[in-house]
Each structure stands twice: as C-alpha cells, then as structure tokens.
Amino acid sequence: MSYNDEFGYHEVIHTTHVMLCMWEDHILGHGVVDMDEPELKDLGEKISSLMSDFYQEISNKSDEKFNKRG
C-alpha cells in the first residue's frame, strides 16, 4: 500500500479527528485544565486550534489531490 494514496490521506484525516476529539474531551474538558489552571487552558486551546488548522489543511490537500471539490 502506498502512503500517499487516497486511503493514506483518509487515515491521516481520520486520526487527526480522533486525536482532536480526545484532546478536547479528555484534556481541555478535564476540571484541572478547564477550571483550576487558566494558563493550561489557554495553552490547551492553542494546541486545539493548531490541530484544527492541521485537520483543515490536510483535508483541503486531499480534496485538491483527489478532485473532491470543484
């Protein structure tokens, strides 16, 4: 199997989504981060934003490469 075929992109997109959901549910949503440590919450939200940006970028690249839009 080639890593740069459509399925390879799908794997990265899917795994990024799973990791982002886990990050937001289990780290950002944890009471220590969410309520007790504002500095950690700010940093965690930056990480979440970067992960979201990565998800969007890899999705766009997949769409461009495999002509899913347009």
Domain map (residue ranges) of the chain: 6-65
Query: What is the C-alpha to C-alpha distance for residues 45 and 51, in angstroms, rounded to an integer?
Result: 10
Phi, psi of 23 (to 5 degrees): -60, -50
Give residue 67's pLDDT band: very low, low, confident or very high (50, 70, 90).
confident
- Give residue 26's pLDDT: 96
> What is the pTM (predicted TM-score) of this model?
0.87
For the stretch 40-66, pLDDT in tens is: 999 999 999 999 999 999 999 999 999
| Pair 28, 45: CB distance under 8 Å | yes
Q: What is the mean pLDDT of residues 22-32?
A: 96
